[in-house]
Amino acid sequence: MAAKHIGLGRGLSALIKDTPPPEPAPAAEGERGIVKLPVDQIHKSPWQPRHEMRPEAIEDLAHSIREHGVLQPLLVRRVEDHYELIAGERRLRAAQAAELREVPARIMEVSDREALELALIENLQREDLNLIEEAEGYRTLTEKFEMTQEQISQRVGKARATVANSLRLLELPDSVKQKVAEGALSAGHAKVLLGLEIPHERELLAVRTLKEGLSVRALEKLVDRLRRMPRKPRAERSDLPESYLESLTDRLHQHFGTSVHVLPCRTLANGRKAKGNITIEFYTNDELDRLLTLLGLSENL
């Protein structure tokens, strides 16, 4: 799932008010900069890379928290009239389930990008992210914050090739990505499936892999056999009726006074679109100038 962009600064209503929005309740700083914050003042971050959390895992942690408290402080930042969570969502949810009123936290002053980086790094170090969540986190850094794969690799402590391979997982069909996220398919299986060009074939082989319990090596052999098989020409259909195409070509020929060829866009058997194009012929610079005039782009050559 791609990350959704939500504005983190003051809203319009805050800008037009005469008085600033209320500050979060002050927190007394304790050992190593750790403070106690009210649970109801900590809100989830839109940059949180983690999405999947098993309810039973939350309940197990809540039981531990009831016995021992929250041992690892949350990372938060101050935003408007509340605190925004940077890292520690599982601990926060478990604390809420345990009905705690306060949790230990460390308040940080960071930008949107730094907040996402910290969330990614913290979750990666704790191995809390599944493969797809990790890839979506990298995509957010790439698309929203325009970071290169090299920059991402340096910030999160991963090889650039690891980041690149992770991002490629997002090219898989949604049904296959779900199985990767659940751990039913490994990163090795996913990499092999990406060797197929047609999304539908990736889905079919993913289903077969799960049904037959294929190893990565067995899947590689199967994909290699598929690649070697002679393929029939892909069926395709024009997106324009033949009669309309002939009429359109004739009208363009009359309008421009020269040969015009129209290749319509086509729909391939796999559902993908093949582009169309229009070719207008000319043989002299004067003729080009005449055509440009007809197109409203006249320039003297």
Q: At which residue do the structure tokens 């000319």 appear? A: 282
Question: Strand 34-38's sheet: what is its strand order?
Answer: 34-38, 102-107, 74-79, 82-87, 42-43
Burial class (CB in 10 A: 0-12, 13-18, 19+), 238: middle
Q: What share of the chain is helix, strand, coil (3-state, %, to 5)?
A: 50, 15, 35
Catalytic residue among 29, 56, 59, 89: 89
Round to whole Å and give the CA distance between 243 and 247: 6
Q: Which residues are within 8 A (CB) of 147 and not within 5 positions of it... i.e. 6 or more apart?
A: 113, 141, 155
31 is catalytic: no
DSSP code at position 171: G
Q: d(Cα 107, Cα 184) in Å, to the nearest integer?
A: 37
What residues act catalytically? Answer: 89
